[in-house]
């Protein structure tokens, strides 16, 4: 169970109102009878039909994976998400460039590191992105969400940079 190892002391309020139930992984307040996974699926439909060359869908995939990890999450899933967020936020990669880096790394990587869990939630979640009006406003909230998830993982930056430098020539 996520609560056993993930510090859940978050008291923020979120913009999406509903049943009062909240996600144990990201802290988002969930609408009645909806899960974070369902919200992610709905947002995926938006980002995949977007048709933008930036490919914001990749930011959403990486932010969600890095925010909704558990003991059962494969190491490759979390490592790829963190690498993607790092490349977007710290190195200015587009979603398309991150996707290409993921494919290249996936073909090169033999083992994936373990990343200790952060002690805080990100300040945004999939609920905030989905609650923003479709179009440029939602796209910007998706980018902000990815940045906020990276901020909670930023203490792992040196570990990621070492991994990229030693294993992959620095990307």
Task: Please state, in angstroms and as integers, the Cα–Cα distance from residue 77 to each residue in 67, 102, 137, following that order.
Answer: 11, 11, 28
Query: What are 29's strand-pairing partners?
Result: 22
What whole-number distance in Å separates Cα of residue 78 and Cα of residue 105?
Answer: 13
What is the rounded average pLDDT of the residues 41-53? 93
Summarised one tens digit per residue, pLDDT across range 160-169 is 898 888 776 6
- Pick the more confident residue, 28 or 141: 141
What is the pTM for the complete model shown?
0.84
Query: What is the rounded CA–CA span in Å between residue 166 and residue 171?
Result: 10
Average pLDDT, the chain: 84
The neighbour count for residue 39, using CB atoms within 10 Å, is 23
Name the band, by pLDDT with cuts 50, 70 and 90, for residue 117: confident
Look at the block and give the residue holding tokens 């930056």: 157
Decide if 63 contacts 146 (C-beta within 8 A). Answer: yes
CA-CA distance, 130 to 36, in Å (whole number)?
Answer: 11
Q: What average pLDDT does range 139-143 have in this prediction?
A: 97
Domain boundaries, the chain: 2-168
CB-based burial of residue 94 (10 Å sphere; 0-12 exposed, 13-18 middle, 19+ buried)?
A: middle
Instruction: Say if residue 98's pLDDT is above 70.
Output: yes
Q: Do 88 and 98 meet the contact criterion of CB atoms below 8 Å apart? A: yes
Reported as a pLDDT band with limits 50, 70 and 90, residue 70 is confident
Tokens of 9: 């002391």
Which one has a higher pLDDT value, 124 or 50? 124
Question: What confidence tier does 102 reach under pLDDT thresholds 50, 70, 90?
Answer: confident
pLDDT(107) > 90: no
Residue 143 has pLDDT above 90, yes or no: yes
Mean pLDDT over 70-78 rounds to: 88
Q: Does 5 have pLDDT greater than 60?
A: no
Question: pLDDT value at position 171?
Answer: 60
């Amino acid at each position: 169970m996520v609560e056993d190892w993930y510090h859940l002391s978050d008291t923020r309020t979120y913009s999406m109102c509903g049943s009062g139930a909240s996600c144990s992984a990201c802290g988002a307040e969930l609408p009645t009878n909806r899960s974070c996974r369902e919200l992610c699926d709905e947002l995926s439909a938006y980002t995949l039909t977007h048709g933008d060359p930036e490919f914001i869908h990749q930011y959403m995939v990486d932010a969600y994976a890095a925010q909704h990890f558990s003991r059962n999450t494969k190491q490759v899933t979390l490592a790829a998400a963190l690498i993607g967020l790092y490349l977007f936020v710290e190195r200015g990669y587009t979603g398309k460039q991150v996707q290409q880096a993921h494919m290249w790394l996936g073909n090169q990587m033999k083992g994936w590191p373990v990343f200790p869990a952060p002690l805080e939630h990100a300040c945004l979640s999939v609920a905030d992105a989905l609650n923003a009006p479709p179009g440029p406003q939602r796209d910007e909230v998706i980018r902000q969400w990815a940045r906020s998830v990276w901020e909670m993982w930023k203490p792992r930056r040196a570990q990621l940079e070492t991994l990229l430098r030693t294993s992959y020539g620095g990307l």
